[in-house]
Amino acid sequence: MDFFKYIHAVGTGPKGNRDLSFEESKDMMQQVLDQSVPSEQIAAFLLGWRLKPETTEEFRGALAACDEQTQKENVPNSIELGYPFDGKAKNPYIFPLVARMLEKTDLNLVIMGDEKQPAKDGITIKNICENISLHKNIKYFDRKNYLNKLHNLTNTRNKLGLRSGFNTIEKLPKVANSSYAITGVFHKPYVKKYVEIFSDKYERFALIQGNEGTPELFSKGRLWIAKGDDVEEIIIDPKYYGIHYQKSWDKITLQDSLNQLNNPSDEYLKLAQLNAAVYLFIAQKYDSIEEAFEALN
């Protein structure tokens, strides 16, 4: 279809806008990935799509187009961690320490990274993975290799400078064919949408009120486990496990983040243990987070 028809569908205002079908959204995404239309039209569509806003069916169609282009590699016994591609700005990452806690288990962590995307000016997964030695149970996938066409849209997205529907669909590409996955979510209303988009792709799918939108728990929050159409909600409080880590509210540098990973405090290590226990529970290695936490002692 003529791409301008997709711009018209999302950019004519409340009275003229309409939702795209699955097939239309897939075609739209294929044209965007191929960059067969001008970057100005891509940016115009992304802005209108965000304001309309996007539907579950549209997300699923766009995701299907990405899936057909994704170069995959099987990583057995793995859980895919869906991080935002705009990074973390105020706190360090904890996944390298989580991997350290999981070394004696058979669970592998799958993470994905790329150059920074809008809109947060954060430290990215790619920044960390290029500056630290990763444990052997972490499999890092660079999007430049597994989905180069989406990587090539980085410049257009950064010129737009705003979040778009891509920020949602890019989190979980299932690049390693993992049976389990978890991603972060800011607001509870988005839980249902994420479940509708992603849950049928995994044996078990989870969301967490993670630090800065990541699948990393730093303070009291909710964990949601999708079971078909049902979603179980679990409250997790680090203080219950004797953890009193104080998260930062100030912007940190890449070096600050690396320093905390290379020289972790006792509280930060205990927080890593709790996150590792959450992942083991999601991957059905233990019947509860408490049981997994104790097993890691």
**In this structure, what token pair is assigned to residue 257?**
């983040």
* Torsion on CA atoms 235, 190, 140, 142, rounded to nearest 10: -160
From start to end of the chain, where are the E strands? Answer: 78-82, 108-113, 138-142, 180-184, 204-208, 221-227, 230-236
Same domain, 54 and 89: no
Q: Rounded to whole angstroms, how far apart are CA atoms 179 and 206?
A: 12
Same domain, 49 and 153: no
Question: How many independent structural domains does the chain possess?
Answer: 2
Same domain, 36 and 163: no
Here the CATH number for the domain that contains residue 18 is 1.20.970.10
The backbone torsions φ and ψ at residue 236, rounded to the nearest 5 degrees and listed phi first, read -120, 125
Whether the upstream peptide bond of residue 119 has omega within 30° of 0, thus cis, is yes
Same domain, 90 and 196: yes
Same domain, 287 and 150: yes
Identify the domain boundary among 69, 90, 120: 69
Per-residue pLDDT of the chain (297 residues; tens, 9 = 90+): 899 999 999 999 999 999 999 999 999 999 999 999 999 999 999 999 999 999 999 999 999 999 999 999 999 999 999 999 999 999 999 999 999 999 999 999 999 999 999 999 899 999 999 999 999 999 999 999 999 999 999 999 999 999 999 999 999 999 999 999 999 998 788 899 999 999 999 999 999 999 999 999 999 999 999 987 789 999 999 999 999 999 888 899 999 999 999 999 999 999 999 999 999 999 999 999 999 999 999
Q: Cα Rg for the chain, rounded, in angstroms?
A: 19
**pTM of the full structure:** 0.96
Here the CATH number for the domain that contains residue 195 is 3.40.1030.10
Same domain, 111 and 47: no
Q: Rounded to whole angstroms, how far apart are CA atoms 239 and 92?
A: 20
Same domain, 183 and 258: yes
Same domain, 101 and 234: yes
Q: Rounded to whole angstroms, how far apart are CA atoms 92 and 90?
A: 7
Same domain, 46 and 147: no
Domain interval for residue 200: 78-295
Same domain, 194 and 219: yes
Closest CA to 223 of 214, 210, 213: 210
Contact call for residues 223 and 234 (beta carbons, < 8 A): yes
